Amino acid sequence: MTSVTLNEGLSQISLAFVFIAMAIYTVSFLLFTGHLARRASKDVAVSKRAFNIERIAMTLLIVGSVSHGIGVVLRGIAASRVPWANMYEFSISGSFVIVAIFILSLFFVTDIRIIAVLVNAFVLLVLGAATTSFYVQVKTLMPALQSYWLVIHVTVAVLATSFFNIAAALAVAYLFKTSGWFASRKGKLAGLIRRILDVFPKENRIEKLSYRFNIIGFILWTFTLIAGAIWAERAWHRYWGWDTKEVWTFIIWTIYAGYLHANATRGWSGRRSAWLSLVGFAAVIFNFTIVNLFFKGLHVYSGLK
Amino acid sequence: MASSQRSKYSRGEDVELPELGARGWLRWFWRQLTSMRTALLLLLLLAAAAIPGSIYPQRTADPNGVAQFLDNNAQLGKFLDALQLFDVYTSTWFSAIYILLFFSLIGCVFPRTRVHFDALRAAPPAAPKIFSRMPAHATFKSRRAGLIDMAATVLRKQRYRVVVTGNSVSAERGYLRETGNLIFHLSLIGVLIAVGVGGGLSYSGQRVLVEGETFVDNLTGYDSISPGAFFNESQLVPFKVTLDRFAASFDLKNRTNIGTPLDFKATVTSQVGQDGKPATSVIRVNEPLSLPHANVYLTGNGYAPQITIRDAQGNITFSGATAFLPQDANYTSLGVIKVPDAKTQFGLISFFYPTAAKLSTGALTSQFPAPVNPLLTANVYVGDLGLNSGVPQNVYSLDIKKMKQVAGPTSPIKGLRLAIGQTVKLPGTLGTMTFDGLKRFASLDISYNPGEGWILFFALSALGGLIMSLLIPRRRVWVRKVDGGFEVAALARGDDPTLEKVIEELANEIRQAEND
Interface confidence, given as ipTM, is 0.91
What residues pair up with B376 in beta bridges, in sequence order? B352, B418
Contact residues, B window 57-96, toward A, CB-based 8 Å cutoff? 57-58, 60-62, 65, 88-89
Closest by CA position to B425, among listed B413, B409, B436: B413
Span A13-23, pLDDT tens digits: 999 999 999 99
- A1 inside 8 A of chain B by CB: yes
Higher pLDDT, B17 or A141: A141
* Alpha carbon distance A252, B427 (integer Å): 61
* Partner residue facing B46 (CB), from A2, A212, A254: A254
**Pick among A261, A266, A305 to test the B interface (most B CBs inside 10 A):** A261
- A286 inside 8 A of chain B by CB: no
Span A242-272, pLDDT tens digits: 999 999 999 999 999 999 999 888 888 889 9
Q: B4 CB contacts (<8 Å, ≥6 apart)?
A: B112
Q: Are B516 and B160 in contact (CB under 8 A)?
A: no
Q: B433 CB contacts (<8 Å, ≥6 apart)?
A: B307, B308, B309, B348, B378, B416, B418, B423, B424, B426
pLDDT at A4 over 90: no
* Alpha carbon distance B377, B414 (integer Å): 10
pLDDT at A69 over 50: yes
Contact residues, A window 6-25, toward B, CB-based 8 Å cutoff? 6, 8
Higher pLDDT, B510 or A92: A92
Return averaged pLDDT per consecutive 10 residues of chain B, 516 residues in all: 40 51 84 86 96 92 88 92 94 95 92 92 90 89 83 90 91 94 96 95 94 93 90 88 96 87 95 91 95 93 96 92 94 93 89 94 92 95 81 80 88 92 92 95 95 96 97 92 89 82 85 67
- A261 inside 8 A of chain B by CB: yes
Is A239 in contact with B455 (Cβ distance < 8 A)? Answer: yes
Instruction: Enumerate the domain spans of chain A.
Output: 1-140, 142-305
Reduced to 3 states, what is the DSSP secondary structure of residue B283?
strand
Q: B367 CB contacts (<8 Å, ≥6 apart)?
A: B330, B355, B356, B357
Q: B494 CB contacts (<8 Å, ≥6 apart)?
A: A264, B2, B177, B473, B474
Residue of A nearest to B191 (CA): A226
Backbone angles phi, psi at A100, to 5 degrees: -65, -45
Q: Are B422 and B434 in contact (CB under 8 A)?
A: yes
Q: Are B170 and B478 in contact (CB under 8 A)?
A: yes
Q: Give the DSSP H or E segment for B161.
A: strand B161-165
B152-155: long-range contacts, CB 8 A cutoff, minimum separation 24? B153/B513, B154/B506, B154/B509, B154/B510, B154/B513, B155/B477, B155/B479, B155/B506
Residue A287: DSSP 8-state = I
* Alpha carbon distance B209, B220 (integer Å): 14
Residue of A nearest to B98 (CA): A254
Contact residues, A window 72-131, toward B, CB-based 8 Å cutoff? none
Q: Give the DSSP H or E segment for A35.
A: helix A8-39
Is B256 in contact with A137 (Cβ distance < 8 A)? Answer: yes
What residues pair up with B340 in beta bridges, in sequence order? none
Instruction: Supply the pLDDT for residue A235.
Output: 92
Q: Around B304, how many Cα atoms within 13 Å sit in the side-chain half-sphere?
A: 21
Looking at CA atoms only, how far is residue A43 from chain B in angstroms? 34
Contact residues, B window 221-260, toward A, CB-based 8 Å cutoff? 249, 251, 253-257, 260
What residues pair up with B303 in beta bridges, in sequence order? B440
**A212: which chain B residues are within 8 Å (Cβ-Cβ)?**
495, 497
Looking at CA atoms only, how far is residue B92 from chain A in angstroms? 17
Is B263 in contact with A1 (Cβ distance < 8 A)? Answer: yes
Mean pLDDT of A289-295: 85
Looking at CA atoms only, how far is residue B259 from chain A in angstroms? 10
* Alpha carbon distance B9, B29 (integer Å): 12
